[in-house]
Each structure stands twice: as C-alpha cells, then as structure tokens.
Structure 1
C-alpha cells in the first residue's frame, strides 16, 4: 500500500477516515452512472459531473440511468438507517465512498452528502484517469456552513460566466454557501446615478446564478451594504444628503477614502427607508432565507450629521437601534439576518441586544489572531460564523503564508467555540487589483479546514496537494513557487496607492490618507504644532519612503529571487495545460517586478540612503520604467477581461499612469 509520502494523488478536503487497499480498479470503457431518483438531483447534475470528468480524463463516453432495473458501475444512492453508524449520526453532508472490483458506490446521508462523495470521486478520476485505487472512505464535515465571500463591488465585477466557473470550483471542494459583496454594483431601480459605469449585476444575472448555485448544492446568500461603506451612493447628487458628511461628496475619488467613508446618517428617518428598500428589492431575487446586511466599519457614525443624537443616546445605542430595526424588518419577512461583528465586538453591550435569529459574522484576519473575540461572542450566547481571509487584497500576488496561518487558526477556534460554520472572505479593496484566480490556494485552505480543522495538515503538505489536485502539477511545486514569489513583494500596490493618494490634488497632504499610514498618523498633529503649518505632500512622501528604508534595500535581492521563481515555474506551468492561470501568474509576477522597481526609484528620488547604497543595481532609466509600466498595464487589462466586466478597470489604469507620470517627473 502506498504511503502518504509516495502516493501520487490526493483528496481535498482530506477525508476523516480512509483505508486504501493494495489493488486498483479499471473503469470500463463503456460504463454507466446510476443515480437514485431519491437523491433529489432533478437534472442528474451529479451523474453528469462524473461523466464529464471521465470523458476528459479517459476519452470515453459513459451512460446515465436511474432505477433498480439499470446496472451502473458507479452507483449514487441515499443512505438508509443502516448506512451510518452512531458516530456520524447521519450528519448533514456525510457520505461513504467504496471503490473495489465490484464497482464504485457513493452513499450520502442527504443530497449534500452524495454531492460531497461525488466531488471526492471526481478528484480521484482527474488525477488517476481510468485506473483508480481500491479504497473505502467514511467522511463528514466539521462545519455545517462552509461558505465563501467574494468581493464584487470594490472595483471588479465578475462576469456571470466566470461566477459559474467559480461556483463549479467551490462545489468541487465541498463548499455549500456563497455570498457576493455588493455596495453600488447592483442595478437597483431608481439608483442609476449610483451604479452607472460600474458594469452592475442585474436581477436576471442573480436569478440565473441563484439557480445555478442551487443545482450545485450551494446556497447563494444575498449580501448588501446597508449602513457603512456607502461611499459611491453618498457621493451622488440624489443621495448625498443621507450621509454623515454630505459636504465631502465632491472630494476627488480616493481608493483609501472609499474604504473609510461614507456612513449613513441613521438619525435621519430617510436612511432607514433607503436601507429597507435595498433589502426588500434584493431579497426577492434569492431562494435563501438568510440575508447579510453587512453593517461593518461604520467609521463616521456619530461624527457628522448624527453627532447630536449620538451624544444624546451614545454611539453604541445608535448603532444597535438601527441594526436592530433592520434585523426586525427582515425577521418579519421570514428571513434570518446576518451582519459583520466588528462594531458589536468593539461595543460588547450591543451583543446583549441581538435577537435570537441573528448570526454574527466574526471576521478576524490577523495571521496570529487569538480566540479572544470568538470566545467573547460565544460567552454572550450569540450565534456566530467565523470569517478568516484568503489575503489577496491590495496585492498582485497572494500572501499564501498569511492565508494559511489565518484560516487554519480561525477554523480551529470556531470549532472549539461552537460556531455555526466558517465563511472565507476574498476582498478587493484598492480597485481589486488582485486577479480572483489568485485566491484559489486560499479558497482551498478554507475548504480543508472547514471540513477537517483538527487534521494534522502541514502547510507544505497542503501546498503539494493543491498543486496536484487543482493544477494537475505532477511535480507538486507550483503553489510553493507561487508562495515564494509572493514573499518577494517589497513595494506593493498598497504602497503605490498610498504614495500617490497622499497628494490631495493641490500639493497638500491628504490627511485622511495620511491617517491610515502608521508612520504618518502619529506625526500629523506634532508637525502642525511644531511649525504651525499642515504637512505638505512632499514632506509626507519623504517620511513614508524613509520609513521604508529597511525594506527598500531588499528590492535588488527580491527581484532576483522573483525572476528565478518565474524561471522555475514556467516549465511546470507549460505542462499543466491551463493557459489561463499561466498567463495570470506571469502577469502578476511581472507586475510585482515593476512595482519593486518603482518603489526603488521613488526611494532614490526621496534620498533614502539604502537606495543609494545598493551598489550597481538600479531600476533602469525612469522614463524607460514608465514605458514598461504602461505596456504591462495593457497586458494586465487583457487578463482582467478573462474574469471580469470592465467595471473600474479604468481606475487601476489611471493609477498606473499616474505612477508613470511621476517617474517621468522625477527623471527631470
């Protein structure tokens, strides 16, 4: 029997119990899948999934049938009372899979269980073709809710075709819930000023995608901002008066300010009418009874138009009252409210006011997070779902180590504290520069740990398994090389945006932006008191770049290492037969090489010592670098179109062009 170390195939998530025999089983060249009608798979999608993978892996065409009059080498069935022991207890999503010379049988506790067993078999067929190992699996998920949260609003709106591909992939790794994050990118009636130019999703898109997900056994849960993160809506002519700071509505667009402003003025009765209208129209498009009202990061609450009311009742009460009204509004319509837990955790008195049917989405993104906040919610008796992250935001390459540490840790905390499940988040933030395909390793981490968080799975082992199962990489090195490449990101998209947006457009420092940069936030007040003047953009950029001096000196070495990663990964990618991911990875790596060179050039321009002490290494002529950036941006735009609508691609292009213009300016 092959050991774990020598076996050339893997299953993700790793089953709880698996016995592998010494023999193999040859799939017949003209076989059949018999799927029981009792499963409830009306279109026999599960059988069709298997037939499609068998055709792809072996080139042979199989038949599909149902009923006990038809034989089937692969048999899909629903369990009876004798099929699962008391340990499984008929857990939703549980299944058994047996492969022997008599054929293949998948028995599920319910539809989801059969679906999960089919996904395990599909992974084996994809890796082994017509010759499968003899084995027996008994498996069940640790988390009943295994969800994925995809940002579809902060710059990138996926195409419906790509969303379906992503749902297919979530199904393969046994996810059973998906949420799309929406702020302004949905075509609500009467709100065209808000969604214009954003390539918004439509009701027709949602109805079609909801049905598609349901067929895959995935619950599509509506999620829309109803409180904070109203930046675009609160900048319109029609809605700005509902915000805390309507006087700021005409400020120049800023990626960073979008993350921090604007919040609804909930002291105004019109705010609730606005939120209720969003909720009421959106929920009608989904079959799910759950609804996520978001309500996170209400940074402006009680600071602008609602300041007087906040002083009267308290910010916590103002928040709790508004969220409570929205939850009650949903409950009256038979819905189960969900919202992000950051504000409630900061103000624990809010936890005591939550209705019983409300679920708190407890996001913790620190790779070294403790269980303190998860324990806090558990002790308050509130229902919660724990939410780690794939760590892709604000970067061209995914931070795979951070994702693994965060997801593995949070999954275990969630199980220990009795959480109802896990929702893995995938954010875009500053224009969503991160290609959504880069999130696949993090997504698979989430699949593994939501299913089996107690398993002793080392990161390197999981990276090898992902390389084999997801990418078809026989060397099992692809994801590790991607991780190594991401470690060479010294000057990232985040730093570039911060550097550029420190300019408020008049030559002065944008203090809202500066307050988000730790090395500047502490100096703003001191600078004003020292010299009596506001900090200029030049002074702010000087301080920012000099604060990066110890990292800037890494850039020559980092770029050499990144170039070596590109050399090492190229032949592996060539044999994977996936030109889409090959192109996406190449563009991301080339982009990071350029960003590092831009960071080095800016450091030189600001007289950072370590940039001058780097020997012969230089980012090349600044004007030539500017041209390289612009050419790269065109290639990046083509890859954007592979997954996404035009949406806000222009904002990323404009940022790159500003960087190129800055390089030309400093070259003088």
Structure 2
C-alpha cells in the first residue's frame, strides 16, 4: 500500500490485511503537535488501555505525548467508540483517517479493539503524516488464539509474557493459552515443580488482568491425563502412572514426550486430575478450561492393561475425558481437550458430552482436510490448531509453518470450525527462543483473519510485509533472510538429542529411544530402512552409526550450509541495523539478538555433526570437502561451550532459569565426547 507525502511516495503495510480499504493516494493527514484521544468503550476498557496504546505509539513515533479522555464532552482529534446504531455488526470496525480527524468505530468492543490495532500499525509506520483512508473490516474466525508452551524447559518471565500479549493484541489475537504440566506451584505438589521456576497464583492473576485489558481471553490449560512425566517420576505420585517401576529411569528429553500417562484405574487418579483443575481455574476470569488429554500413548499398556483388555482403550479414554468434562461443567466451565486420540479412534467422538470443544491439532505441512471433515461430520465443536514449527530447533521452519497454517485455516473455515488456535511448542528442553516464533505467529494472524487471502497469496508476499511491519525493515527482506538461514540445518538440535539419548546413561542402549525414531521424522535424508536398522541395533555404537548414516547426505554439505549461514547472518545484521524498533522500549539489538544467536548456534551444530560422524566412522576425512583445521573437534567443543554461555544470558532476558540446565547438559556432553 502506498500514498504521497509532498510528492514523495510512502509505503506501508497492514497485517492482517483489511478486507476493504479506500486510500486517497495524493492526500496525507498530519497529526497535530498537540492532540487528544477520546475513547468510549464502556466497561470493555474502563481504564482506557486501548487509547493509551495509541498515545504510546504516537509518542514513540513523534516524541509528543497526547492527552487521553473519555466521555461525550471532550474535543478530540482521534475518537475511539462503539457504534450506537446497527450500522456495524459484531466484530466489525470502520477506521477513517481524514484531515478533520481520525475515528475508529466498532460494532462491539471486539471490533473497536481490532480497529484500534489497525490504526496503531499505521501510526507506527507513517506518523506524523498518515494516509487519508477508510477501512471497513471484520475477521473470518471469531476466536483467534495462540497456545504457548511454558512447561517443557522454558518458563517465561511475567514481563516477557506481558510483552507477548502486547504483540498478540497488535496482530488481533483474542485468546491465549499457556501450556502447563509441572511448571505451576500447585499446593502440596512441591516435589513435582521444584527446580522448575514455576509460575505462581499471583503471576496468573496479574497476567489474566493484563490480557483482559487488551481484549485477550486467557484460558487455563493443564495436562490432566497424559503428559504427566515429571509428576509421575515423584515419590509421592509415581504410583499413579501406568509404569511406576520406570520412575527412576534417568531423565530423558525424549522419554518425557513418550511415557507420561495416568493410570486411570488407580483410585486416586481422578483426585489428582481434579486437584490440577479446581484451584487453577479459580485464578482465571475465563469460563473455558483446557484439560489437554493428548498423546496418552501408554493408556492400557501398563497397570491398566487388564481393564483395556476388558473394555477397550477407546472406551476407557472417552469415559475418563467425559468424567473430567462433567466435573468442569458442574462448576459452570466450558471444557476443551486436544483431539488427537479421539480423531484416531472416531468411536470416542460419539461418547463425548455435547458441551465439549475439541482442539483438532494437525501439524503436517501438507495436511489434508480429512480429519477436520471427520470432526465436523460428527457434529462436535472444534478449533483447528496448526503450528509455528519452532520446536526442537534453533531456527524456525517457516516453509512448513506457512503451508500448515494457511491450509488449515482454509479447511477450518470450510467446515465451520469455531476457532483457530496457533500452537507454539518447546519439545526437547525448549531450545527455541520464543521470539523465533514471531513470523509464524503473524502467519496465523493473517490466515485466521482471512483464510482466502492465504489461498491467493504466497508466503514471500507475507514475509515482505512482516519484515516491514514487525521488523521495521524497509527493504522487506528480513524474514526471507531468516527463511534462507533455516534451510541450512545439516545437524539439528533434534538429532543431537537423539544421538546422545540412544545411550541409556550406563553405557547400554536405550531401546525406548531407538523405538521413538520413526521413518517420517523430520531431519536428514528420509528412509524407512535406517529407522529399521536403528530399531534392530543391539549396541549404542551401532544405533548411533545408523542414525548418522541416515543423516549423512545433509551432514556432508556442512561447509556449503555454513557459508550460507554466514551470508544470512550478514544480511540479517545489515537489515536489522537499518530497521526501526517497533516494540515499546525495545532496541534494534534486542530484535537481532535471538536471531544472531540462533544462526551462530546452528553453524556450530553443523560442525558438531561432522565431528560426530567422523568419530563414529560414518564419514571418512576424505569425504569432507577441504582439509579440516588441526584439532577441529576441540575447536568445536570450545565453540559450543562459549556459545552456550551467551545463549544462556539471552535465555535469562525473557525466561526464568527453569530447566536451562537440561540444555547445558546436552551441550557439555557433546563437548566431552569431542575431546575424547
């Protein structure tokens, strides 16, 4: 989009892109040096937070602080209000920028809030000379949510959570859920959360109020059935697991994703689930509650196997989830749960209560509409839930995120999904910095607002717009450079962890980790033959060699990849140096910091892959292009240790200490291996 200011063309972009926009190309509206913003949003914004957002952006762009007022008797240049007639429907807004003033009118509070965010994006890019325009707009999905993992190693600080809520508000998200397993300080469960820097009730209460003031519903979400790995390893609660005899196995980043299911035939199991629900829900103003219930892999395989043999796993699952949902409904709450088990066993869908919302998570980049259609045909209410594809990696897989998010938004709209929930996970220690998810989060913003826009556009176009709006890069190439960097992964964090954890801890082979390696896992050359060889291995050395042989084609292109990473780092640095900082109080360095750390870390990981492949005899020195420096493994060991210290310092700028030690242990084990 563009307009003229004194004969000069000025470009700006809006995300999500409005459905209708009428711009006067040769007219500009100059913000007065003194002005007032009057907001009349009633009880939806008693404290005039939204008007304050506009005032903050004007001050950031011009250095001038505008006055803020409410009521009908005050003069203003900017007026923010809810329509007093029926001209606009729910969630709709109209924004007008004219020489005699600016108005944002919402059909309701939600529409007003979203219209204000559009105005803020314009002010950030264009002030003090704004385009003269009229915008009329509304979203496709009424519920546009974000799901943030705060449990698998990284617990964000309250300050960072507030900054993230601000960003979600700017891009018009209106729901947020925090994923919790053991990282909340539940009463009488200190053995579960000790050492995890858990969130406390006061944190939730403060954050809930902060989100509400920005038009975001904070929905409680706690694992109550599966994904209870840390709880089921404690002395007090291990008897409630399917395999209590395994509670003393060495901690494993991989096993915590595989073995974590409650034994629901144990008499105290339901009481534990209710303990996780009852106190937690009282901290939130939302009436919704997500009980999770996903990936209950061990159900019916351990202590509950006799019951599974008698009744069937599907019936056991459906009855327990239904029981939890009834428990919530009796307290006036609206239950939600992840739909993966129900979709794989469709008979479960027929047994669920009518007031349940199924969260249909589907992460494949080339996802089809099959499972969305299945749930729709069952009559169950559903949210469709794509992913930003950042987990298990330093660099985001933007290609996969775009394809997954854009496809699923269209399927959900076609089959009448009630909501769109973008997920951001942190498997294997949450090595991914939360800021690496920003492009994927914005993909979700655009696609949830208008899925058909995604059907008719390319990720390259949206990447250009994100570069301008979010990163302040006038060249529009920042996200493209980040995408290019993400293509240069020859040895990933995902495979570093798998390589290490194939060893149980006493020198023996970890068969559970062997079995977890599947032919369709992302990373390296694909081939079921290698997965089968790994599954059939009898020693650690054999399994590791097969894993590295699988990855060998990628590992051998490390020099080329690292040269590309160096070039991408230079491009990102140059573009970041030219960009404006759009976050209140942020600096250009804070924008670049996590990106440059991720790129440098990946360069070292690529070198680590070469060293390990040489160590295991999978790659010969003659196969490595060019001579390696003397004592190359020792150089890489020092490099990753030094890198980790900087990485840890950056971690602490947005996250509590939490389980940073898990990542440290992986880095140090690799360094020790390289020195042997």
Q: TM-score, normalised by structure 1?
A: 0.96
Pair 1:636 & 2:637 matched? no
Partners of 2:65 and 2:119 in 1: CA distance = 17
CA distance in 2, matches of 1:523, 1:402: 24
Partners of 2:148 and 2:425 within 8 A in 1: yes
3-state SS of 1:125 partner: helix
State which of 209, 227, 230 in structure 2 corresponds to 1:229.
227
Deviation for aligned residue 1:521: 8.6
Partner of 1:30: 34
Match of 1:589 in 2: 599
Contact 1:514 1:521 (C-alpha < 8 Å) held by counterparts: no
How far off its partner does 1:83 sit? 2.4
Do the aligned partners of 1:597 and 1:619 also contact (CA within 8 Å) in 2? Answer: no
Distance 2:667 2:34 in 1: 55
CA contact (8 A) 2:514 2:535 kept: no
Q: Post-superposition shift, 1:663?
A: 0.7
User: Which whole-Å deviations, capped at 9, do the CAs of 1:24-53 have from their partners, x for residues lacking one?
Assistant: 100000011011253631001111111110
Alignment correspondent of 2:541: 538
SS in structure 2 opposite 1:40?
helix
What is aligned with 1:554? 557
Measure the CA separation in 1 of the matches of 2:382 and 2:373. 10
Where does 1:58-137 land on structure 2 (aligned, <5 Å)? 58-84=62-88, 90-91=89-90, 93-137=91-135
User: 2:55 corresponds to which residue?
Assistant: 51
8 Å Cα contact 1:76-1:114 kept in structure 2? yes
Distance 1:345 1:212, change over 3 A: same
Number of aligned residue pairs: give it. Answer: 654
For residue 355 of structure 1, report the CA deviation from its aligned partner.
1.2
How far the C-alpha of 1:111 sits from its partner, in A, is: 1.2
In the TM superposition, residue 112 of structure 1 has moved relative to its aligned partner by: 1.3
- CA contact 1:160–1:205 (8 Å) conserved in 2: yes
Q: Does 1:451 align with 2:449?
A: yes
Q: 1:548 to 1:30 in 2, by over 3 A?
A: same
Q: Return the alpha-carbon distance in structure 2 between the equivalents of residues 140 and 526 of structure 1.
A: 53
2:608 to 587, 590, 598: 598
Shift of 1:612: 3.5
> How far apart are 1:7 and its partner, in Å?
5.8
Give the deviation of 1:583 after TM superposition.
Answer: 1.1
Q: What aligned pairs does 1:426-441 form with structure 2 within 5 A after superposition?
A: 426-441=424-439
Using the TM superposition, give the Cα deviation of residue 82 of structure 1 relative to its aligned residue in structure 2, in angstroms: 4.4
Q: Which moved more, 1:176-185 or 1:505-514?
A: 505-514
Match of 2:633 in 1: 622
* Contact 1:550 1:610 (C-alpha < 8 Å) held by counterparts: no
| Matching of residue 15 in structure 1 with residue 18 in structure 2 | yes
Aligned match of 1:364: 362
Q: Answer yes or no: is the 8 Å Cα contact 1:74–1:103 preserved in 2.
A: yes
Paired position in structure 1 for 2:569: 566
8 Å contact 2:208–2:218 — kept in the other structure?
yes
Structure 1 residue 499 and structure 2 residue 499: aligned?
yes
CA distance in 1, matches of 2:629, 2:307: 54
- CA deviations 1:156-175 (Å, max 9, x no partner) are 00000000000000000000
| Match of residue 516 from structure 1 | 516
Name 2:461's counterpart in structure 1.
461
Take 1:528 and 1:565, find their aligned partners in 2: how far apart are those partners? 38
Q: Where does structure 1 lack aligned partners over 5 or more consecutive residues?
A: 85-89
* One of 216, 219, 225 as aligned partner of 1:218: 216
Unaligned runs of 5+ in 2: 520-526, 580-586
Q: Deviations over 1:247-305 (max 9, x none)?
A: 00000000000001120000112100110111111111111000000000001000000
Q: CA deviation at 1:527?
A: 8.6
- Aligned pairs for 1:291-370 (under 5 A) are 291-370=289-368
Q: CA deviation at 1:657?
A: 0.2
- Residues 568-627 of structure 1: CA distance to partner in whole angstroms, max 9, x if unpaired? 111211222421121111111100000000001111222234763232153761111101
Query: For 1:301-324, what per-residue CA distance to the aligned partner results, in whole angstroms no more than 9, with x for missing partners?
Result: 000000000000000001111101
- Aligned partners of 1:32 and 1:71 also within 8 Å: yes
Q: How far apart, CA to CA, are the structure 1 residues paired with 2:627 and 2:393?
A: 24
* 1:426-447: CA deviation from partner (whole Å, max 9, x where unpaired): 0000000000011000000010
TM-score normalised by the chain length of structure 2: 0.94
Specify whether residues 596 and 83 from structure 1 end up closer, same or farther in structure 2 by C-alpha distance, changes over 3 A only: same
Distance 1:483 1:521, change over 3 A: closer
Question: Is the 2:162–2:210 Cα contact (8 Å) retained in structure 1?
Answer: yes
Q: CA RMSD in A?
A: 1.7
For residue 471 of structure 2, what is the aligned residue in structure 1? 471
C-alpha contact (below 8 Å) 1:553/1:610 kept by paired residues: no
Alignment CA distance shift 1:37-1:587 (3 Å)? closer
CA contact (8 A) 2:281 2:289 kept: yes
Partner residue in 1 for 2:394: 396
1:249-268 superposed matches below 5 A: 249-268=247-266
| Deviations, residues 532-566 of structure 1 (Å, cap 9, x unaligned) | xx610000001111111221222111111111111
Contact 1:553 1:611 in 2 (8 A): no
Q: How far 1:198 moved relative to its partner?
A: 0.1
1:198 counterpart SS class: coil
1:462, 1:373 → 2: CA distance?
Answer: 27
Q: Secondary structure at the match of 1:635?
A: helix
**Is the CA contact 1:78–1:110 (under 8 Å) kept in the aligned structure 2?**
yes
